[in-house]
Amino acid sequence: MGGPGPAHLEVEDLVVRFGGLRAVDHVSFDVPPAAVVGLVGPNGSGKTTTLDAVSGLVTPEAGSVRVDGEEIGDLLAEERRSLGVVRSFQNCLLYPDLTVEDVLLVCLDAERVVSVLGATLRMPGSRRSERRKREAVDRVIEAFGLGRFRHHRTAEVSTGTRRVVDLASIVLSEPRLLLLDEPTAGIAQREAEAFVPLLRRLHEVANCTILLVEHDVPLVFALCSQVVVMEAGAVVSAGTPDEVSRDPRALAAYLGASEEALTPSSVDPVGTRAPGLGGGGEG
């Protein structure tokens, strides 16, 4: 476990209880290696709590969470991260007074052990490490179209662009299993529409498995090979986007009967232009 390449996630009979409330009720699903699987449902359906249980932020009462066939339920969140299990959050907490480039450098330092003495004395090993670090940051800046914002403070760019910086920092952490929690939350519709190609780019560059919690159903249907629908803590439907869109249980639970609601917005088919690149300010 913890080897190279995308991870395989298996969740079986997961139960999470908060006091008398069973927030996750015997949830089971499978996320094959390199797949992108969407987890959708109304507010309070247990999506984020499921993500928390997989990442180790909450302790389940029962059930199993396995990565590459190995049980990880007893591991702390930090231990799971060392195995390549990386979780994002709805609110990307970047350093507002740092530039985009410096934020990415700081995120990379947080992932790698740095010798303070070597860096202070600028020893050869430290210089090589610094060069590799800057090369890695250069690659993600280019991959996510952030070049024009390299020297902008993160407080000066749009919410959508800050989301892109957050995703770029995730790539630097080299995830094998990426748990994405509503990456389009709080951003403008114009920017949200660009997230399908952006997340495809993330999947390609990071070469990882993705479990995505997202309220934007068209985005999920456009991006994911499998969709899991939750309601009241339980899975009510699972399958391909086409299968789920035709499942009466999914329609009743969350999707509704409108075909228009499931139609993806027009997006850039090339998928290389990051959202929020039209200007600064809040998105």
Query: Which range has the top average pLDDT, 93-102, 212-221, 261-270?
Result: 212-221
Which pTM does this prediction carry?
Answer: 0.81
Angle between helices 100-111 and 159-172 (to 10 degrees): 30
- Extract the tokens encoding 115: 């010798």
With b meaning 16 or more CB within 10 Å and e meaning fewer, what string describes 222-253? Answer: bbbebbbbbbebbbbbbeebeebbebeebbeb
With b meaning 16 or more CB within 10 Å and e meaning fewer, what string describes 204-218? Answer: eebebbbbbbbbbbb
State residue 117's pLDDT score.
44
State residue 93's pLDDT score.
61
Rounded average pLDDT over 109-127: 53
With 80 as the cut, is the pLDDT of residue 128 above it? Answer: no
State residue 166's pLDDT score.
87
Is residue 157 a contact partner of residue 280, using CB atoms and an 8 Å limit?
yes
Q: Tell me the CATH number of domain 1-84+177-272, given options 3.40.50.300, 4.10.490.10, 1.20.1250.20, 3.40.390.10.
A: 3.40.50.300
State residue 177's pLDDT score.
97
Kindly tell me the burial class for residue 264, based on how many C-beta atoms sit within 10 Å of its own C-beta (0-12, 13-18, 19 or more): middle
Which residue, 230, 145, 216, is CA-closest to 185?
A: 216
Confidence of residue 91 (pLDDT cuts 50, 70, 90): low
| Mean pLDDT, the chain, whole residue set | 83
Residue scoring higher pLDDT (54 or 125): 54
With 80 as the cut, is the pLDDT of residue 98 above it? Answer: yes
Lowest-pLDDT choice from 24-33, 89-98, 110-119, 241-250: 110-119
Q: What percent of the chain has pLDDT over 70?
A: 80
* pLDDT, tens digit, 9 for 90 and up, residues 214-236: 988 999 999 999 999 999 999 99
Which residue, 234, 185, 182, is CA-closest to 213?
A: 182
Distance (Å, rounded) from C-alpha 41 to C-alpha 60? 20
Please, how many CA atoms are within 13 Å of residue 154, restricted to the half-sphere of its CB? 20
Rounded average pLDDT over 159-169: 87
- For CATH 3.40.50.300, the residue range(s) in the chain are 1-84+177-272
